[in-house]
Each structure stands twice: as structure tokens, then as C-alpha cells.
């Protein structure tokens, strides 16, 4: 059961700008074939030291349809070039969350990394999800694989 009182019904993701973001672009895809919507830092310029983690403001709040989650993922170019990643990737933003969107950045590289206001720091990927019933049982149905895992089907 959802506690969302006025769910978005048309599939639209809605944003509210906060005071620290009167000017930055809304999250956007960079190409027509992109799954991810790039999201930017709304903070004043700072340097992320090697090994440092920081929750970075986007200056946005978001309203999702009731059956849609938003996953926050690293941008591959920043990860490859600088070691910039997200320690909780993919992060999940639930449809009932109404606070500011922040992205936890982690500099896993060996050099300090300047992060500038407006820099695209992560990407948002939207996914529908199901809400199944959960129950405890005594037995499962049988399969050929059974409990085999971790390489049990070959390399």
C-alpha cells in the first residue's frame, strides 16, 4: 500500500528547483539512445581528495510516478579517467521520497579531483518495479540448477 497521496499518473517525472539551483539544466539524456539522464552538481566548486566521500547537492527535488524508481549510477568516463564513482551504486530513490537529491561521490583515484558547479556528476536511470507479496514456505519447487551458484554453470 502506497502512502503517496497524489501519485503522478501520466508517467512524468517532476522536479522542483531549490534556491541553490536557479540556473542549472534539469537532468537530461545526452543522446537520443541514452538510457541515463545526466545530473549536475549544484554546489560551489570544491576538490574531492583521494579516498574522500561527499554527498553532493543537485539543487533538485523530484516526484516520481508510484511504480517508478530512480537509480543513480556513476558516469563511466569520470570513473575511467579519474576514479570518480558512487559507493552505493546503484543508489535507489523511491517514489515516496520528497527530499533534495544528493549524490554520494567517492574519489577512488590517486589524485585530487576538482568538482565544479554544473559538472555532470552522475546519471539517473528510471525503472519500473513490482511489489510482490512475501511469504515464508517450507519447500521450493525443484530446478535443474538447484542451489548451484558462483560459477556452477561454467566459466
Q: What is the mean pLDDT of each run of 10 residues along the chain (155 residues)?
A: 61 95 96 97 98 98 95 96 96 96 98 98 96 94 85 75
Q: What are phi and psi of 85, to 5 degrees?
A: -140, 180
- Residues 75, 56: Cα–Cα separation, whole Å: 15
CATH 3.40.50.20 fits 36-128, yes or no: no
pTM of the model: 0.85
HEC-encoded secondary structure of 99-133: CEEEEEEEECCCCCEEECCCCEEEEEEEEECCCCC
**What pLDDT sits at residue 4?**
60
Cβ atoms within 10 Å of 105's Cβ, excluding its own: 22
For residue 75, give the DSSP letter. Answer: -
**What pLDDT sits at residue 43?**
98
- Closest to 68 (Cα-Cα) out of 14, 145, 114: 14
**What pLDDT sits at residue 148?**
82
CA 143 to chain centre: 34
Amino acid at each position: 500500500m502506497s502512502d503517496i497521496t497524489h501519485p503522478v499518473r501520466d508517467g512524468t517525472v517532476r522536479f522542483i528547483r531549490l534556491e541553490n539551483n536557479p540556473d542549472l539544466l534539469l537532468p537530461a539524456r545526452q543522446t537520443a539512445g541514452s538510457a541515463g539522464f545526466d545530473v549536475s552538481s549544484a554546489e560551489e566548486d570544491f576538490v574531492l581528495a583521494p579516498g574522500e566521500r561527499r554527498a553532493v547537492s543537485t539543487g533538485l527535488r523530484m516526484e516520481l510516478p508510484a511504480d517508478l524508481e530512480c537509480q543513480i549510477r556513476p558516469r563511466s568516463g569520470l570513473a575511467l579517467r579519474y576514479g570518480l564513482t558512487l559507493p552505493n551504486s546503484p543508489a535507489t530513490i523511491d517514489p515516496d521520497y520528497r527530499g533534495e537529491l544528493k549524490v554520494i561521490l567517492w574519489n577512488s583515484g590517486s589524485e585530487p579531483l576538482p568538482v565544479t558547479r554544473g559538472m555532470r556528476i552522475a546519471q539517473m536511470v528510471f525503472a519500473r518495479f513490482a511489489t510482490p507479496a512475501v511469504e515464508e514456505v517450507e519447500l521450493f519447487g525443484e530446478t535443474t540448477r538447484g542451489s548451484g551458484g558462483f560459477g556452477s554453470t561454467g566459466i
